[in-house]
């Protein structure tokens, strides 16, 4: 039996479409567990109205932080294989049938990691306001691959080491994974399945580091939705406070925070949550990966971000003054070099060119996923994407520029 787990909080309009992508599957042996994280909307009433014994709802009366919520949700699954979706995500048609075939043919891999369809809702992406659907090959190991294959131990190590160095070379979408129960049960022996401020970033890396058999599937099997109510929307649109509110996570309460606080700098909370998450990963997988987190790179990311945010008026801004007070001598020299480079490029009219060059130097990616655009602007709801896939009317992917 397959389990699909969906945590949700006050996004019933999106949840309905996610649930429909499960109900419409052509395979019957599944359960859908919806974990209501203290919604004021009537989630249970909706589930009761679905009137399908395979769909059940559990609720927390307290609004839990994202990681605790995801652990509570995952622990409710009873199937032999578990898929985890956000409430704005969905399955593709024939998902369970396809997964069953893969499990049987490849002799029950513990992890299946798939390409994705990414559905950007209208109004989410500043670079494409009408929204789009993309075929996302989300890892370096997809290059040149058209059929399912087992990830080698060297490839898995490269993937995780890239993450610890903050040059990630695969994306951490939880929708891309199917986990065997045996793998999740082994993780539970050591504590929670999900840990850290970014639970998906954590488990994605732990899965590749710890699972003895990982099957990679270049065919998109799930739909990763990015709606205006998602954390992704806040990330793409510079709404950091709103993003923190959605996650409901208090970084200072993280169990590793007292140990890593000395390495942390003012700047984007995203980078700080990311690096603390990687510290959790490094400690849990140290027996197989034996790499430390690259805090020097993290600090350069923060310095550059604050410099750009203050538009060169570094010491006049409170964020710049605070950051400067926490830098080492070498970091101060590096910062001054950046400021001089930015000032010089402005005088020469090359400011944009300088910033692009620096961004390539400090960006937290070592690989850019291959993204083929299937459609622009035709869909406003995820269920419409599902229906287009079912009808075979979604366009063939065209490589994004």
The three-state (H, E, C) secondary structure of 67-80, written as one string: HHHHHHHHCCCCCC
Model confidence over 337-391: pLDDT tens digits?
888 887 777 777 777 777 777 777 778 788 877 789 999 999 999 999 999 999 9
Percent of the chain's residues with pLDDT above 90: 83
Q: Is the pLDDT of residue 200 over 80?
A: yes
Neighbouring C-beta atoms of residue 125, cutoff 10 Å: 18
pLDDT at 82: 98
Burial label for 126, CB within 10 Å (0-12, 13-18, 19+), is exposed
HSE toward the beta carbon, residue 131, CA cutoff 13 A? 20
Go through 218-255 and write b for each residue having 16 or more CB atoms within 10 A of its CB, e for each that does not.
bebbbbbbbbebbbbbbeeeeeeeebbebbbbebeebe
pLDDT at 401: 46
Determine the Cα–Cα distance for residues 384 and 165; give it in Å rounded to an integer.
39
> Any alpha helices (H) in 42-189, and if so which ranges?
43-50, 66-74, 95-105, 153-164, 181-189
**Local structure of 226: helix, strand or coil:** strand
More confident residue, 316 or 330: 330
Residue 74 CA, distance from chain mean position: 16
Model confidence over 128-151: pLDDT tens digits?
999 999 999 989 999 999 999 999
DSSP state of 371: E
Instruction: Kindly report which listed range (84-98, 178-192, 236-250) carries the lowest average pLDDT score.
Output: 236-250
What residues does each domain of the chain span? 2-234+368-395, 251-362
Assess contact for 260 and 280: CB atoms under 8 A: no
Neighbouring C-beta atoms of residue 325, cutoff 10 Å: 8
**Mean pLDDT value of segment 79-84:** 98
DSSP state of 87: T
Q: Is the pLDDT of residue 400 over 70?
A: no
Could you give phi then psi for residue 344, rounded to 5 degrees?
-65, -40
Pick from 137, 134, 138: nearest CA to 394: 134
Residue with tokens 């020097």: 296
Residue 75 CA, distance from chain mean position: 20
Task: Determine the CATH number of domain 2-234+368-395.
Answer: 3.90.550.10
Determine the Cα–Cα distance for residues 59 and 79; give it in Å rounded to an integer.
20
Assess contact for 68 and 147: CB atoms under 8 A: no
Apex 147 CA angle, 145 and 150, nearest 5: 85
pLDDT at 353: 77
HSE toward the beta carbon, residue 224, CA cutoff 13 A? 21
Q: Is the pLDDT of residue 93 over 50?
A: yes
Determine the Cα–Cα distance for residues 22 and 98; give it in Å rounded to an integer.
14
Q: Is the pLDDT of residue 312 over 70?
A: no
**Mean pLDDT value of segment 259-272:** 95
Assess contact for 223 and 132: CB atoms under 8 A: no
Q: Is the pLDDT of residue 276 over 70?
A: yes
Assess contact for 400 and 373: CB atoms under 8 A: yes
Question: Please, what sign has the CA dihedral across residues 215, 216, 220, 224?
Answer: positive
Helix (H) or strand (E) holding 13: helix 12-23
Residue with tokens 């602007």: 377
Model confidence over 140-190: pLDDT tens digits?
999 999 999 999 999 999 999 999 999 999 999 999 999 999 999 999 999
pLDDT at 316: 83
Determine the Cα–Cα distance for residues 326 and 322; give it in Å rounded to an integer.
7
């Amino acid at each position: 039996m397959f389990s699909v787990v969906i945590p949700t909080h006050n996004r019933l309009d999106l949840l309905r479409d996610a649930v429909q992508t499960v109900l419409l599957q052509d395979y019957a042996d599944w359960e859908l567990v919806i974990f209501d994280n203290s919604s004021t909307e009537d989630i249970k009433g909706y589930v009761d109205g679905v009137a399908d014994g395979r769909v059940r709802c559990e609720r927390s009366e307290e609004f839990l932080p994202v990681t605790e919520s995801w652990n509570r949700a995952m622990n409710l699954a009873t199937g032999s294989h578990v898929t985890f979706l956000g409430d704005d995500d969905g399955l593709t048609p024939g998902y369970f049938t396809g997964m069953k075939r893969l499990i049987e043919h490849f002799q029950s891999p513990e992890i299946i990691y798939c390409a994705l369809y990414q559905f950007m809702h209208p109004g989410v992406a500043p670079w494409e306001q009408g929204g789009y659907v993309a075929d996302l090959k989300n890892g370096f190991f997809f290059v040149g691959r058209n059929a399912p294959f087992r990830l080698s131990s060297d490839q898995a190590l490269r993937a995780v080491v890239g993450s610890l160095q903050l040059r990630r070379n695969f994306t951490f979408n939880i929708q891309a994974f199917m986990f065997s129960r045996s793998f999740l049960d082994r993780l539970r022996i050591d504590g929670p399945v999900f840990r850290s401020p970014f639970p998906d970033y954590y488990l994605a890396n732990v899965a590749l580091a710890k699972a003895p058999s990982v099957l990679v599937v270049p065919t998109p099997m799930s739909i990763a939705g990015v709606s205006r109510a998602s954390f992704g929307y806040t990330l793409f649109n510079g709404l950091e406070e709103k993003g923190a509110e959605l996650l409901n996570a208090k970084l200072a309460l993280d169990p590793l925070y007292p140990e890593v606080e000395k390495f942390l700098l003012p700047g984007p909370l995203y980078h700080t949550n990311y690096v603390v998450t990687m510290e959790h990963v490094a400690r849990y997988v140290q027996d197989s990966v034996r790499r430390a987190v690259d805090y020097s790179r993290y600090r350069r990311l923060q310095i550059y971000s604050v410099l750009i945010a203050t538009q060169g008026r570094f010491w006049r801004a409170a964020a710049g003054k605070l950051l400067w007070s926490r830098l080492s001598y070498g970091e101060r020299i590096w910062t001054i070099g950046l400021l001089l480079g930015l000032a010089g490029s402005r005088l020469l009219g090359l400011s944009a060119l300088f910033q692009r060059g620096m961004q390539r130097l400090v960006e937290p990616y070592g690989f850019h996923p291959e993204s083929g655009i299937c459609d622009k602007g035709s869909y406003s709801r995820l269920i419409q994407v599902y229906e287009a896939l079912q009808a075979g009317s979604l366009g063939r992917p065209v490589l994004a520029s």
